[in-house]
């Protein structure tokens, strides 16, 4: 529990003022939630959505338990698989990825147990660990994947402010190709495969982006800073793209410090569009202090015709429940910030 949360609890009881005040924001509800992870306290961290192209309603949410391993959940929130793969922090995946003469669906996760990037394949809805390769710097923290013009990429962020780009050389191996250095602790990131552009979250400062070309990353420029148009309150945490076309769509960022989500234009100067919270519903509790998130625009059956936003929930209810992931109908996000046509 953060100081701010304690302060808010005392303020409610004693009616004294606590800073900073939380801005009122459009609030939506989650449609589903996953089973809690097995580990207590801070454990769930980052989800990644896998699309079952043959039967979209059978798509999976991969979610890390950063003390224990990897879950695969159905869209109903039930556990399909658990892989005890170590302290996996962030995860991302690419489908129909080509690595040498291998083609398939591959996921990568930052693993603090053995200081590796651990790799998994997803074949007809079954997740399997294929192998791992060493992190170039101790304690791989954040992670996102990309489809570069030169292959399948894994970007790993570090508490030192370093970011290392790796290229996969096999479904169980990778090698460093590039580095960037920002000022302070990094975590969330997302790569725009179409624009060849990497978005990076610097937890205390904001969101930056860097172009990728010919095996190297260009200098990072700011998308938004703490206290900027998007109202980001540190930590800046997970981020993802919701794609509506080859270049169009949205960038969604977790503003952990005020339990909100900021949405930006995917293109151009990444204009800030709006932000929202996920509040308590009749059956499912609201979302607080989100770490990782993922979004996908693929239709996932009648319940989610425009896809989903999946977010980690830092304070799952009922009281004492372990953390989990909340599943939000994208149409609720559209309505909250005025995206619907």
When the beta carbons of 256 and 270 are compared against Ca ion, the nearer one is 256
Determine the size of the site formed for Ca ion (CB under 5 A).
8
Please, which residue, 255 or 316, has the CB nearer to Ca ion? 316
Nearer residue to Ca ion within complex by CB, 121 or 324: 324
Query: Which among 97, 218, 116 is positioned nearest to 169, based on CA atoms?
Result: 97
Q: Which CB sits closer to Ca ion, 135 or 316?
A: 316
| Residue nearest Ca ion, CB atom distance | 291
Give the length of the chain: 341
Site string for Ca ion, 4-43 (x = CB under 5 A): ----------------------------------------
Considering only 25, 30, 45, 336, the residue that binds Ca ion (CB under 5 A) is 45
CB of 98 to Ca ion, least distance (A): 30
Burial class of residue 79 (count of CB atoms within 10 Å of its CB; 0-12, 13-18, 19+)? middle
Q: Binding segment for Ca ion among 56-64, 107-115, 206-214, 291-299 (CB under 5 A)?
A: 291-299
Q: Between residue 182 and residue 221, which ones bind Ca ion under the rule CB under 5 A?
A: 187
Burial letters 158-184, b for 16+ CB under 10 A, else e: bbebbbbbbbbeebbebebbbebebee
For residue 270, state whether it binds Ca ion (rule: CB under 5 A).
no
Asked if 92 interacts with Ca ion (CB under 5 A), we say: no
For 6-53, strand residue ranges (E) read: 27-29, 32-33, 44-50
C-alpha triplet 235, 240, 244: angle, nearest 5°: 145
Q: Which of 291, 295, 308, 311 binds Ca ion (CB under 5 A)?
A: 291
Stretch touching Ca ion by CB under 5 A, among 22-30, 220-228, 267-275, 311-319: 311-319
67 touching Ca ion, by CB under 5 A:
no
Burial environment of residue 194 by CB neighbours within 10 A (0 to 12, 13 to 18, 19 or more):
middle
Give, as one character, the DSSP assignment of residue 35.
Answer: P
Q: Which of 18, 22, 315, 334 binds Ca ion (CB under 5 A)?
A: 315
Distance from C-alpha of 315 to C-alpha of 285, rounded to nearest angstrom: 9
Interface segment toward Ca ion; rule CB under 5 A; list 123-131, 159-167, 172-180, 306-314: 306-314
| Consecutive H or E run containing 331 | helix 330-337
Q: Which of 172, 285, 289, 329 binds Ca ion (CB under 5 A)?
A: 285
Nearer to Ca ion, 177 or 336 (CB): 336
C-beta of 99 vs 232, nearer to Ca ion: 232
Contact indicator for 151, 100 with CB cutoff of 8 Å: no
Q: How many helices and strands, by DSSP H and E, does the chain display?
A: 2, 26
Distance separating alpha carbons of residues 169 and 172, to the nearest angstrom: 8
Binding mask 132-161 for Ca ion (x = CB under 5 A): ------------------------------
Question: Distance between CA 314 and CA 303 in Å, rounded?
Answer: 25
**Mapping DSSP to helix (H, G, I), strand (E, B) and coil, where does residue 121 land?**
strand
Q: What's phi and psi for 162, nearest 5 deg?
A: -80, 150
If the CB atoms of residues 171 and 238 are measured against Ca ion, the closer one turns out to be 238
Residue 92 CB, shortest distance to Ca ion, in Å, is 13
User: Which part of the chain contacts Ca ion (CB under 5 A), choosing from 11-19, 147-155, 156-164, 286-294?
Assistant: 286-294
Smallest gap from Cβ 103 to Ca ion, in A, equals 31
Please report whether residue 313 would count as binding Ca ion according to CB under 5 A: yes
Let me know if 336 is exposed, middle or buried by CB neighbors in 10 A (0-12, 13-18, 19+).
buried
- Residues of this chain that interact with Ca ion (CB under 5 A) are 45, 187, 285, 291, 313, 315-317
């Amino acid at each position: 529990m953060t100081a701010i949360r304690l302060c808010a609890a005392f303020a409610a009881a004693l009616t004294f003022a606590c800073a900073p005040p939380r801005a009122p924001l459009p609030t939506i509800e989650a449609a589903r939630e996953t089973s809690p992870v097995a580990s207590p306290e801070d454990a769930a961290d980052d989800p990644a959505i896998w699309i079952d192209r043959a039967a979209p309603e059978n798509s999976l949410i991969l979610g890390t338990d950063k003390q224990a391993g990897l879950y695969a959940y159905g869209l109903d929130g039930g556990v399909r698989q658990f892989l005890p793969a170590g302290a996996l922090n962030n995860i991302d995946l690419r489908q129909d990825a080509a690595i040498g003469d291998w083609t398939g669906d591959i996921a990568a996760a930052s693993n603090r147990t053995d200081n590796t990037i651990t790799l998994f394949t997803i074949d007809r809805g079954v997740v399997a660990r294929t192998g791992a390769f060493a992190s170039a710097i101790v304690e791989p923290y954040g992670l996102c994947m990309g489809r570069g013009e030169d292959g399948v990429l894994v970007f790993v962020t570090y508490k030192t402010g370093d970011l290392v780009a790796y290229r996969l050389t096999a479904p169980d191996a990778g090698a460093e190709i590039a580095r960037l250095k920002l000022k302070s602790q990094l975590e969330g990131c997302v790569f725009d495969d179409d624009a060849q552009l990497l978005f990076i979250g610097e937890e205390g400062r904001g969101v930056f982006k860097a172009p990728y070309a010919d095996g190297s990353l260009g200098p990072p420029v700011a998308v938004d800073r703490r206290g900027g148009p998007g109202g980001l309150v540190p930590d800046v945490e997970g981020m993802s793209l919701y794609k509506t076309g080859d270049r169009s769509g949205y960038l969604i960022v977790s503003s952990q410090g005020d339990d909100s989500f900021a949405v930006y234009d995917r293109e151009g100067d990444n204009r800030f569009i709006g932000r929202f919270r996920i509040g308590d519903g009749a059956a499912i509790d609201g979302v607080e202090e989100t770490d990782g998130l993922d979004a996908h625009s693929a239709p996932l059956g009648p319940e989610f015709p425009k896809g989903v936003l999946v977010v980690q929930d830092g304070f799952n209810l009922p009281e004492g429940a372990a953390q989990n992931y909340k599943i939000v109908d994208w149409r609720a996000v559209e309505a909250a910030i005025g995206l619907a046509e």
